[in-house]
């Protein structure tokens, strides 16, 4: 924006290498500063959204829940986990009066990419009482019916865990551990059930019928 009147790039003689390096260094530095600022401003909101989404999912998979606590395993016992802890953890969910069950998360390979799930277990772990897909990139219109198809999601509202849940062809489910699959989304359906089975394997033996800690007051973890 100087007096230069020509509309094209005004350099006529070769700039020194130092000048080139300096230009890039300054650009990188300024860019870095801007990004750090943007990160600082947006990160708290992003974190809050993530926690909010997870909390909503817990309330969804454990019907009637109003309070929850995040627990993690330390030396074989479940203890209250820090909200930001990244280790393997489960959620204990209460209504205003009683302990309602656990919410377990797990992930595994879907048709296209990793599927992340959250599902609710009854206090004794014998039944799945709800399922939510947290993250997936399944095919729109086909595989994504694992969370868009209300009938399929409803299959997990009362699903027996003994024997292990398994996917059967749509309409063929007879036993309490059968999940009616979705035609055209067989792999995605099987992936969901496999993730649940793997998670149950890991967690069921470690979950007591009632958690050692009390329901938190005020509904906050």
Partner 1 sequence: MSAPSSPSEAYAEFVKGIWKENPVFVGVLGMCPMLAVTNSAVNALAMASATLFVLLGSSVLVSALRTVIPKQVRITTYIIIIATFVTVADMTLAAAVPAVHKELGAFISLIVVNCLILGRQEAFASKNTLWMAFVDALGMGLGFGFALFCLGASREVLGMGSIFGVSLFGPNYEPWVIMILPPGGFIMLGLIMVVFNWAKFRKGAA
Length in residues, the chain: 221
- Closer to partner 1 at the Cβ: 59 or 94? 59
Interaction between residue 23 and partner 1 (CB under 8 A): yes
Give me the least distance between CB of 21 and partner 1, in Å please. Answer: 9
Give me the least distance between CB of 99 and partner 1, in Å please. Answer: 30
Give me the least distance between CB of 212 and partner 1, in Å please. Answer: 34
Query: Per-residue DSSP letters for 45-74?
Result: HHHHHHHHHHHHHHHHHSTT--EEEEEEEE
- Closer to partner 1 at the Cβ: 137 or 164? 137
Q: Give the closest residue to 112 by CA, choosing from 167, 165, 185, 182.
A: 185
The DSSP symbol for 185 reads -
CA 77 to chain CA centroid, Å, is 24
Residues 27-46 as x/- pattern, contact with partner 1 by CB under 8 A: xx--x--xx--xx-xxx-xx
Interaction between residue 112 and partner 1 (CB under 8 A): no
Residue 92: beta bridge partners?
Answer: 69, 102
CA angle (133, 109, 45) in 5-degree steps: 45
* SS3 state at 102: strand
- Closer to partner 1 at the Cβ: 57 or 100? 57
Interaction between residue 24 and partner 1 (CB under 8 A): yes
Q: Give the closest residue to 99 by CA, choosing from 57, 130, 64, 61.
A: 64
Interaction between residue 208 and partner 1 (CB under 8 A): no
Residues 131-160 as x/- pattern, contact with partner 1 by CB under 8 A: ----x-x-xxxx------------------
- Closer to partner 1 at the Cβ: 43 or 126? 43
Rounded distance between C-alpha atoms, residue 169 and residue 72, angstroms: 37
| Structural contact between residues 77 and 211, judged by C-beta atoms closer than 8 angstroms | no
Interaction between residue 164 and partner 1 (CB under 8 A): no
Q: What are the residues binding partner 1 (CB under 8 A)?
A: 1-2, 4-11, 15, 19-20, 23-24, 27-28, 31, 34-35, 38-39, 41-43, 45-46, 49-50, 53, 135, 137, 139-142
């Amino acid at each position: 924006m100087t007096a230069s009147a020509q509309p094209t790039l005004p350099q006529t003689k070769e700039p020194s290498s130092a000048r080139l390096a300096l230009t890039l260094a300054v650009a990188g530095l300024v860019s870095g500063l801007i990004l750090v600022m943007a990160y600082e401003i947006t990160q708290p909101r992003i974190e809050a959204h993530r926690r909010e989404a997870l909390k909503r999912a817990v309330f969804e998979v454990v019907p009637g829940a109003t309070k929850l606590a995040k627990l993690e395993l330390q030396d074989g016992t479940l203890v209250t986990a820090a909200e930001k802890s990244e280790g393997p953890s489960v959620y204990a969910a209460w209504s205003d009066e009683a302990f309602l069950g656990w919410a377990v998360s797990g992930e595994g390979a879907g048709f296209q990419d990793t599927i992340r799930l959250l599902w609710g277990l009854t206090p004794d772990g014998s039944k799945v009482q709800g399922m939510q897909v947290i993250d997936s990139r399944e095919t729109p219109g086909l595989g994504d019916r694992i969370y868009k198809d209300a009938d399929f999601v409803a299959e997990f509202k009362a699903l027996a865990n003994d024997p292990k849940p398994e996917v059967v062809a749509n309409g063929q489910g007879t036993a309490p551990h059968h999940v009616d699959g979705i035609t055209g989304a067989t792999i995605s359906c099987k992936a969901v059930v496999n993730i649940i089975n793997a998670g149950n394997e890991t967690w069921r033996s470690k979950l007591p019928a009632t958690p050692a800690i009390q329901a938190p007051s005020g509904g906050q973890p």
